[in-house]
Amino acid sequence: MFLLVGLGNPGPRYQMTRHNLGFLLVDEIARSWNLPAESWQEKNDSLCAKAKYKTSEVLLVKPLTFMNLSGKSVQAWMQFFKIPKEKLLVLVDDVAIPFGTLRLRPGGSDGGHNGLKNIDSLCGNGYARLRLGIGDATSPVPMESFVLEKFSAEEQRRLPTLLAQMAECAASFVDKGVQETMNLWNGKKL
């Protein structure tokens, strides 16, 4: 079984904010895989749904613990289904990458992202991260505020296409693995 975890914050206040990109991406994956709405349930401090992609079972997860405690849910699902780190993909925003740029890595640092930091502390490192840039080097707003702002009108216009492409990348991870998916997607203009 694969575990695809989108990071975000629960509740209407955070919908369509930059920091909720992981939740938006999980929703797009579920939509593109025609997952029925009734597939979702609340368990292990998360919204989750089992899906099938080609021949693989996939658990889609949106932790409900708020960003800084995302690892609690990830750890619970990994232990419950005995999912190895090689089959974990965390879907996350990244303020250090320009908006619309995708980056997949088989591991690495948390890059100052509190959700990844918490997952690392509870589950260790060595799992794949699919990051989509939300950064704006020209923004005068402090980073903590910037990530919790709603997407700009221009970003909202581009978001459906970006999410669809990221969903394809996540599907490729399940189908082809991290190395081949990195070769296909990293550096690709979205």
Domain CATH number, residue 95: 3.40.50.1470
* Bridge partners, 3 (sequence order): 59, 88
Whether residue 149 lies inside any domain: the answer is yes
Whether residue 190 lies inside any domain: the answer is no
Q: What is the pLDDT of residue 141?
A: 81
- In whole angstroms, what is the distance from residue 29 CA to residue 46 CA? 17
Q: What is the pLDDT of residue 140?
A: 79
- Section 115-133 average pLDDT: 95
113 classed as catalytic: no
Host domain of residue 55: 2-185
Whether residue 49 lies inside any domain: the answer is yes
Number of domains present in the structure of the chain: 1
- Catalytic one of 18, 19, 113, 131: 19
- Section 128-150 average pLDDT: 85
